[in-house]
Amino acid sequence: MSRILRRTNENATLAQMLLQRLDFIAAVFISLALLIVGKIDDGFNQRAQAVIADVAVPAAEFIGKPIVWAGEISDLVNAYLVESEENARMQAENTRLRQLEPRLVQLINENERLRDLLSLPPVTDSPVITARSVTYPGSPFLWTTLLDAGAADGVQPYQPVIDHNGVIGRILSVGDSSSRALLITDLNSRVPVMVLETGDRAILEGDNSRKPQLAFLEAAHKVEPGFRVVTSGDGGVFPPLLPIGVTEIEETGMLRVVPSADMARLEYVQIIQHEEPAAPEEQEPVAVPENEGANP
């Protein structure tokens, strides 16, 4: 269609040029004829000019109309071609924007999650490393996730890993540019915890389900559904008071914890560069002044 319109436009332009040239040639021949006759008879020249003027006006209008029409057709065709090209360009741009829309939505969601992560209230004075989970965690036998930060970024084994909702686990192994985190839902995970409402301490044990269980809780009868569970800080791996989740009581009476973090949809996390306190035998003894404790 575009080729036909372009061809029509070219034909209209060519016809307009031919009519203009014919008009010019006719005017030249008429002028020469009048000049020759005028030399022979002056009166004839005047009478002829009057007759020609009477005939030339409608003739010029008649001859000029095709030129005007050709110009109008050319303008219409040009306008249509320009509009067609603009429509094609806008359609291509619309298609490109539609293709970018899913990526834009993804970036918006990632931006919101990063904002949540960066606005996480400080739960420890230790510095943190932001990393991204690049594998899908969760299987019947293993709950781990691979992170895109490693030893080159300062990651070390046993460092706690959290997201903007709470604890997700700890670093299991470290490579130069990557690391693997063991989630609190894994069968091999053991985390010392505390029930915030009662102050009782327990061990959070993973069993490869989405809800790890509370073990070694002495006053289990005091715990009600919805009580908050946080890290106790025992053992030195996890800083104290990191949020983990809330309690849930099964029909069998088993206490479980619903993690605050969604383990199946991890994306951006923070690795806490928490240094485990030295064992008592490794700590330097406190110097006691010689006169302290002496009898007066």
Query: Please, are residues 149 and 186 in contact by the beta-carbon 8 Å criterion?
Result: no
Residues 6+ apart with CB under 8 A from 206: 143, 183, 184, 185, 186, 187, 188, 189, 190, 212
Averaged pLDDT, 3-13: 57
What pLDDT is stored for residue 79 in this prediction? 76
Averaged pLDDT, 77-102: 76
What pLDDT is stored for residue 6 in this prediction? 55
* φ, ψ dihedrals at 90, nearest 5°: -70, -35
Please tell me the chain's helix, strand, coil percentages from 3-state DSSP, rounded to the nearest 5.
45, 20, 35
Whether residue 18 has pLDDT greater than 50 = yes
With pLDDT > 90 as the criterion, what percentage of the chain qualifies?
A: 34
Task: Kindly report, residue by residue over 223-246, the tens digit of the pLDDT.
Answer: 999 999 999 999 889 999 999 999
Q: Where are the domains of the chain?
A: 2-113, 128-276
Q: Which residues pair with 182 in a beta bridge?
A: 144, 170
What pLDDT is stored for residue 203 in this prediction? 96
| CA separation for the pair 236, 140 (Å, rounded) | 29
Task: Kindly report, residue by residue over 26-61, the tens digit of the pLDDT.
Answer: 666 666 666 666 666 556 556 665 666 665 556 656
| CA separation for the pair 157, 180 (Å, rounded) | 9
Averaged pLDDT, 165-170: 92
What pLDDT is stored for residue 12 in this prediction? 58
Mean pLDDT of the chain: 76
Query: Please, are residues 238 and 271 in contact by the beta-carbon 8 Å criterion?
Result: no
Averaged pLDDT, 253-259: 94
Stronger pLDDT, 102 or 19, i.e. the higher one: 102
What pLDDT is stored for residue 160 in this prediction? 95
What pLDDT is stored for residue 14 in this prediction? 63
In the numeric block, the tokens 């930060």 are attached to 149
Query: Please, are residues 201 and 234 in contact by the beta-carbon 8 Å criterion?
Result: yes
**Which region among 127-131, 148-152, 291-295 has the lowest average model confidence (pLDDT)?**
291-295
What pLDDT is stored for residue 274 in this prediction? 76
* Highest-pLDDT range among 23-27, 42-46, 268-272: 268-272
* φ, ψ dihedrals at 35, nearest 5°: -65, -40
| CA separation for the pair 123, 270 (Å, rounded) | 12
Q: How far is CA 144 from CA 116, 183, 185, 258, in A?
A: 23, 6, 9, 18
What pLDDT is stored for residue 168 in this prediction? 94
Other beta carbons less than 10 A from residue 131's beta carbon: 23
What pLDDT is stored for residue 173 in this prediction? 94
**Which region among 1-5, 47-51, 229-233, 262-266 has the lowest average model confidence (pLDDT)?**
1-5
Tokens of 41: 């008879």
In the numeric block, the tokens 């951006």 are attached to 268
Averaged pLDDT, 166-184: 94
| CA separation for the pair 84, 1 (Å, rounded) | 10
Q: Which residues pair with 144 in a beta bridge?
A: 182
Whether residue 198 has pLDDT greater than 50 = yes
Whether residue 117 has pLDDT greater than 70 = no
Among 3.40.50.1000, 3.40.50.720, 2.40.10.340, 3.40.630.20, what is the CATH number of 128-276?
Answer: 2.40.10.340
Whether residue 1 has pLDDT greater than 60 = no
| CA separation for the pair 68, 72 (Å, rounded) | 6
| CA separation for the pair 288, 142 (Å, rounded) | 51
